[in-house]
Chain A
Amino acid sequence: MKLGERQSLRAIYIRWIAVAMILAIIFALAIFRYNREVSAIPLEALLQNKPDGMVRVLGRVVAGTLMRKESASTFNLSSDAKNTEISVLYIGKPDDNVRELKLLVLAGFFDPEKMEFTAQRIAPIPNIGFVVAAYLIALLPLIFFLFNMERNIILLSILIKEEKAYEPESSPNEQE
């Protein structure tokens, strides 16, 4: 080790701050993408705000309302909390994800007059909590584990340098 141990200790801290920053940037980008492309509003919010333009909404397919056809399917979407229901028209080939009693995220346009939602894309619910949990459980201990090992090496080298070897006093037997 050419650098003094204290300097290498500082180098390790700097390195790990850099790692943390890069990870933070990646996660920020991921959150940004999530908000833009994945996150959905609940059905109640849709009915209350009646937003214009493209919107993503989360709801459950009501049992017994699903009608599949060649080029389009219709079904009713409900929220679990209140008994609000809207009818949905999905244009496109029948989607495997559309099944009765399944939670879905629908991207499309809402027509408040007819209480009808025209869906263009359908996706299963994001379950983003599981993803976040998995990544945190994988990466946080990893960072801690690695950081600790690197730090330990420096600390051990310091201790080894400072440790005075134990020298036994010469016993009377040993004099010749």
Chain B
Amino acid sequence: MPSLIGTKISHTYRFFKALKEVSIELQKGECYALFGPNGAGKTTLMKIFATLLQPTLGSVSIMGKDSVQDREAARQALFFIGHKSFLYEDLTAIENIEFTIGLRGWRPTLGEIKTALDRVGIGAYASQKSRYLSAGMQKRLSLAKAILARPSLLLLDEPYASLDEKGIDIMNESIRDFSNQGASVLISSHDRLKAAEVAHRAGTLHNKGLKEVPITELANALF
């Protein structure tokens, strides 16, 4: 069963059609990279997959659950890392993770949280209030949350933004791990080379529609 099926998704913002009949299908363990110029509707599409927005027409199904009819079940299966960090400033890194994962109905042990934080390289800041974490560290913290959340579908909106070289490596390693463990990953990015390292398939969002690009031609393709 595919982890993500988007069928003819259109999104109209009253008079403005932001997306026109986008279809996409992600198999288990597959990593898909989504590119496109500004204003092509990448963020809108990501928001629809993350169930932050509802498609005007068409349907999205995540792990076989319809994202409108069976919303909470679909949400249980996905994890979204967006531009913003979703962190509470007065809570420490550990407490933020506890809260986020806690709302998903699971309580990781302190050891598991520490391991995840070490894995993304911010173990030293585990008891730091998230207010004092830099943007890059916040991104890594989000990644640690994703590792603990163990979603079936991981949605990454601009995952490489504000990360340093080391951070990008950790990100790509983790994405590979997710794929190997059978989770599907959808990346929306501007950084073709970084994304090409991990993606199995790629597509460009164009004139409000999606067009598949062979992964080998990604570096040379003009779009």
Contact = CB atoms under 8 A, between A and B. Distances in A.
A127 to B, nearest CB: 52
A173 interface: yes
B34 to A, nearest CB: 15
A176 interface: yes
Contacts of A176: 222-223
Interface string A149-176: 0000000000000000000100101111
Contacts of A168: 39
A171 B222 contact: no
B150 to A, nearest CB: 36
Contacts of B39: 168
Interface in A55-90: none
Instruction: Give the interface size class of chain A.
Output: under 10
Instruction: Give the interface size class of chain B.
Output: under 10
Contacts of A175: 222
A43 to B, nearest CB: 69
B149 to A, nearest CB: 34
B218 to A, nearest CB: 14
Contacts of A171: 37
Contacts, number: 11
Interface string B182-223: 000000000000000000000000100000000000000011
Contacts of B223: 173-174, 176
Contacts of A174: 37, 206, 223
Interface in B1-60: 37, 39
A174 B37 CA distance: 7
A108 to B, nearest CB: 71
A173 B38 CA distance: 10
Interface in A108-142: none
A2 B223 CA distance: 45
Nearest to A168: B39
A171 B39 CA distance: 11
A174 B207 CA distance: 9
B124 to A, nearest CB: 41
Contacts of B222: 173, 175-176
Contacts of B206: 174
A168 B207 CA distance: 12
Nearest to B223: A173
A51 to B, nearest CB: 72
A176 B206 CA distance: 10
A118 to B, nearest CB: 75
A174 to B, nearest CB: 6
A171 B37 CA distance: 9
Nearest to A172: B222
B64 to A, nearest CB: 35
Contacts of A173: 37, 222-223
Nearest to A171: B37
11 contacts: A168-B39, A171-B37, A173-B37, A173-B222, A173-B223, A174-B37, A174-B206, A174-B223, A175-B222, A176-B222, A176-B223
Interface of A: 168, 171, 173-176
Please list the 10 inter-chain residue pairs (A to B) with the smallest Cβ-Cβ separation, ordered nearest first.
A173-B37, A173-B223, A171-B37, A174-B37, A175-B222, A176-B222, A176-B223, A173-B222, A174-B206, A174-B223
Interface of B: 37, 39, 206, 222-223
Given A168-B39, A173-B222, A176-B223, 8 more contacts: A171-B37, A173-B37, A173-B223, A174-B37, A174-B206, A174-B223, A175-B222, A176-B222
